Structure 1
Amino acid sequence: MIQYDYIIIGSGQAGTPLAFSLAKSGRVAIIEKGQLGGNCVNNGCIPTKTYIASARKMWDISHAEDYGVDIPQSGKANMRKIKERKEAIIGVDRNGIEKGFQDDKNITLYRGEAHFVNDYEIAVNGETLTAKNIFINVGSRPRVPEMYQHTPYFTNENILQTTELPEHLIIIGGSFIGVEFAQMFKRFGSKVTIVERGPRLIKVEDEDISQAVADILKSDGIDIILNADDIQTLQNKDSSITVNATKDKSVSVTGSHILLAIGRMPNTDTLQLQNTNIKVNERGFVEVDDYGQTNVAGIFAMGDCNGKGAFTHTSYHDYQVVQSFLSGSKTRKISDRITTYGLFTDPPLGRVGMTKKEALQKGYKILLAHRPMTKINRAKAKGETKGFMQAIIDADTQLFLGACVLGVGGDEIISALTNLMYAKQPYTVLRDAVHIHPTVSELLPTALEDLTPLN
């Protein structure tokens, strides 16, 4: 048995920075069964946004004449070169992490699958490691129900490995992953159909956001089928795939490939947690307290696998929370963070705090600020006037309850509102601020000049 001060399972966005931090005070073992860097580096944020950037170039080419630019012929997506560009970018990150581990004399990297022998002992590659502090950072993977496993399918992971452009991509699932890949591959040149069980896309958002996103996708030529119950897949003799569903009456669509985008599940099932006293819920997420610690002292769970957030920024914040706890300061808590995220369509959506529906359900008396992108000169100059910005204000405290910017620059602009919410400053601070002209964000103060009661 090999004794360490700390054992980290997984090199994702919480595990990697924690390893470097803890190595300053003790010996660290970090175990990784896949590629270094976790989902964000290898299959999530970075590679998908790299693909989205290529898709945007396709859009620029096809719309060049709208801007007075004559291009003699349309562009063509080269999936092999797009993939090579993605691999080059993420390779820099992976290699940087590996070199960092190699150069730190207090970090030992184990390549292999870990499982628990008991609460404080971990088996990997035939060796047993032990430590008083163990950190689980195993992430999540695409959920693939058994009913779809009898036909070939893509997930958000293996579709990034293809070098051939699907002729007709049918995407089952209309939330974040499905919507981003739909627009991306449509712009690459595929025919794209989204099949969604629910009555609208991105059900966590307000209905006006869902409708606006649907309108954006339809303007790109994407077909959307909603209220699709009993979705089934069938591979045909010519290798095409037919997706059948019920929508008032039977609907059927046949394509060359399907992409399953119906949620994710935690990678905790291989850890053999049944050998421990660590509690998990019915969905496989490790239960943790406000500091990321499980019910077993000294054992923590961070990132996707604890069910407290499904984003890179929440995973990194988990690392900060755990680090704060270990230092004794306890200045950070999971419950302190405000929900914020981006949908990286074009235009993107930036979201912080509550939706209108959530605020009303919680009984707030709210005021709404709203501004369509069609009234924003910078958006008009850029030729990108789809979407809107809006903020929800607590009428009693004048504090922001939530906000969204669906439109050009929305994923960046939302940070201004996020900062004000953390600072607990009234909306009047932003309303009375002077912003640069001409920008999209300068219309946030203007929108706050005219508030509409919603109750």
Structure 2
Amino acid sequence: MIEDRVETFDAIIIGSGQAGNPLALALAKEKWKVALVEKGALGGTCVNTGCTPTKAYVASARAAWTISNAPKLGIDVPKSPKVNLKFIKKRKDKLVNESRLGIRKSLSDSPQISLIRGTATFLDKTRVKVGSRVLKSYKIFLNVGARARIPEGFEDVEYFTNSSILQLEKVPENLIIVGGSYIGLEFAQIFKRLGSKVTVLEMGKYLISKEDQHTSEMVREVLENEGIKVICGAKCLKGKNKKSGGITVTFQKEEKDKQVSGSHLLVATGRMPNSDLLKIEKAGLEINKKGYVEVNEKLETNIEGIYALGDCNGKGAFTHTSYNDYEIMENQLFGDKKKSLDDRITNYALYIDPPLGRAGMTLHQAKESGKKLLFARMPMSEISRAKEKGETQGKMEVIVDADSEQILGAAVFGTGGDEIIGSFLTAMYGKLSYKTLMNSVQTHPTVTELIPTLLQQLKPIKN
């Protein structure tokens, strides 16, 4: 029996991630009465298990690598660095807590917002239940995020996810990582640099399958040069706890049975949306075969008054795309209604070292577009600044529409790549001719000064 007392709000936001929190504050500013429902820690994936904590670990791992490689630059180091994972975790936790407290203060400073703790489930298209409370609104915004997907064969094994591995206080002796994409590779390099022996198992033929094979091969080379063992084409993966402690993962490669044993296991085989926790069928919401809530370019679901933002809509799995979803939603509600998903250019980074920055299409995607293409690629080893830093691994490449002269895509894999990609992205959003960037004068000595030189090398390429 549904409780007699129903609490009515102007808006219900389920999830306090990078779209939910700013939306709650924006609605409150417009004097909306808002219910913000959160089942876990404030801030969503980015603050708690994503960007903030992992990049803190990347920084510590980078420091260990810098010390170990200092002799190459003429700096003698008496001993190899001593890693204190307990302190690294403590530093990470401090950064995470500061972010959470900042969010909590912002929300508590707004009397229009009611923060409600618990898991929300739909009763129908206007009502949700949280514990014993029933909330009602004709505007419901889903920002429920995603979680680690655990494949068959690992249900009964002791494993870590991207979230739980951040709670370790001792460096794993021998870490097996199942999954050779963005999350798996970042943790592979982090823990290798902190002192673990690391093996990466990937089902596909090559790592980070969304990237072009050339990029994948360069990434693999970087990781293997650091001593990370990479095994691609590993099929029929299964995990088993060892009686003596640790984990064994069995798999097939080239029709032969193989196995790898280690002290710890990280499962990094992708993400799945948290939409399955909402009982969305009671609201009549449509989801796709992967569980993502279907939305149009305005983030509207098939049910009037219900919207999906952030990772759960499948239109991006990043903090910047989630925040952009908020910007689109705010514009649709209170602005000129001109912002939409159609405006967004794909961009992201792989935070191994050196990082990979990506904007727009890959070469494979561009070839499938049927457009007349120009393409150029240059190695980082040709850049003075990279040589001076002793970090010459990687490449820079760009794809141009020969007819419109606009940049379709670019990749910067090398020192500073996650920042440098912004130059290409700015030109793409500005719809500039590549010649504008090609004729620009960039600061010397920087890695960015390769961009004009790269664009001068553009040549036609066949689809």
Same topology, TM > 0.5? yes
The answer to whether the 8 Å contact 2:298/2:340 transfers is yes
**Residues of 1 paired with 2:335 and 2:189: CA distance?**
46
Q: Tell me the distance in 1 between the aligned counterparts of 2:220 and 2:461.
A: 24
The separation in 2 between residues aligned to 1:147 and 1:255, in whole angstroms, is 17
Q: Secondary structure at the match of 2:300?
A: coil
Is structure 2 residue 19 aligned with structure 1 residue 14?
yes
Question: 2:324 matched to which residue of 1?
Answer: 317
Measure, in 1, the Cα distance between the counterparts of 2:357 and 2:372.
Answer: 23
- Alignment of 1:4 with 2:9, yes or no, is yes
Distance 1:9 1:240 in 2: 38
Asked if 1:167 is matched to 2:167, the reply is: no
Tell me which of 56, 68, 88 is aligned to 2:62.
56
* Contact 2:142–2:308 (8 Å) recurs in 1: yes
Q: Is 1:125 paired with 2:131?
A: yes
Task: Select 1:257's aligned residue among 264, 274, 281.
Answer: 264
Unaligned runs of 5+ in 2: 1-5
1:276-319 CA-to-partner distances (Å, cap 9, x unmatched) read 12211222111111111111111100001011111111111111
| Aligned counterpart in structure 2 of residue 308 of structure 1, from 315, 327, 332 | 315
For residue 268 of structure 1, give the secondary structure of its aligned residue in structure 2. Answer: helix
* Whole-Å separation in 2 of the counterparts to 1:155 and 1:255: 16
Superposed, 1:216-231 pairs within 5 Å as 216-231=222-237
C-alpha displacement of 1:227: 0.6
Pairwise CA distance, 1:250: 2.0
Paired with 1:405 and 1:22, the residues of 2 have a C-alpha distance of 38
Q: Distance in 1 between matches of 2:54 and 2:317?
A: 16
Provide the rounded CA distance (Å) in 2 between the counterparts of 1:390 and 1:21. 39
Shift of 1:328: 4.9
- 1:191 is matched with which residue: 180, 189, 197? 197
From 219, 233, 239, the equivalent of 2:239 is 233
1:421 pairs, out of 400, 415, 428, with: 428
Cα shift readout 1:67-91 (whole Å, capped 9, x = no counterpart): 1112221112111100000000011
CA distance in 2: counterparts of 1:279 and 1:327, whole angstroms: 26
Counterpart mapping for 1:274-289 below 5 A: 274-289=281-296
Q: How many residues align?
A: 455
Q: What letter corresponds to residue 129 of structure 1 in structure 2?
A: L
Query: What is the aligned partner in structure 1 of residue 3 from structure 2?
Result: none
Deviation at 1:410, TM superposition (A): 0.3
Q: Distance in 2 between matches of 1:404 and 1:14?
A: 27
Greater CA drift, 266-275 or 195-204? 266-275
Partners of 2:444 and 2:234 in 1: CA distance: 46
State the alpha-carbon separation in 2 of the partners of residues 232 and 272 from structure 1.
31
Q: How does 1:12-91 map to 2 (within 5 A)?
A: 12-25=17-30, 26-91=32-97
Distance (whole Å) between structure 2 residues aligned to residue 146 and residue 30 of structure 1:
34
Answer yes or no: is 1:106 the counterpart of 2:112.
yes
Paired amino acid for 2:146: S
Letter in 2 for 1:213: V
| 1:147 counterpart = 2:149 | no
**How many angstroms apart in 1 are the aligned matches of 2:341 and 2:451?**
29
Structure 1: unaligned runs, 5 residues or longer: none
Question: Residue type of the partner of 1:361?
Answer: E
Worse-superposed segment, 143-152 or 308-317: 143-152
Preserved CA contact (<8 Å) 2:41 2:48: yes
Bigger mean CA offset, 201-210 vs 325-334 = 325-334
Work out whether 1:336 is the aligned partner of 2:338: no
> Which residue does the alignment assign to 2:396?
389
CA distance in 1, matches of 2:296, 2:336: 16
Residue 328 to residue 378, structure 1, CA distance change in 2 (3 Å)? closer
State the alpha-carbon separation in 1 of the partners of residues 152 and 449 from structure 2: 50
- State the secondary structure of the residue aligned to 1:401: strand
Query: Any idea what SS the aligned residue of 1:11 has?
Result: coil
Quote the Cα distance in structure 2 between the aligned partners of 1:229 and 1:277: 37
CA shift, 1:452, in A, is 2.2
| Aligned match for 1:369, one of 372, 376, 379 | 376
User: Which residue identity is paired with 2:186?
Assistant: E
Note if 1:205 corresponds to 2:211. yes
Over the matched positions of the two proteins, sequence identity in percent amounts to 50
Which stretch of structure 1 is more off in the superposition, 344-353 or 355-364? Answer: 355-364
Q: How far, CA to CA, are the matches of 2:17 and 2:62 in structure 1?
A: 28
Task: Calculate the TM-score normalised by the size of structure 1.
Answer: 0.99
Structure 1 residue 8: deviation in Å? Answer: 0.4
Q: Look up the equivalent residue of 1:106 and give its one-letter code.
A: Q
Tell me how large the CA RMSD over aligned residues is.
0.9
Q: CA deviation at 1:245?
A: 1.0
Say whether the 8 Å CA contact 2:153–2:237 is kept in structure 1.
no
- Other-structure match for 1:352: 359
Matched, 1:156 2:169: no
Output the TM-score relative to the length of structure 2: 0.97
**Residue 151 of structure 2 contacts residue 269 of structure 2 at CA under 8 Å; is this kept in 1?**
no
Instruction: Give the Cα separation in 2 of the matches to 1:293 and 1:33.
Output: 23
- The answer as to whether partners of 2:354 and 2:413 remain within 8 angstroms in 1 is yes
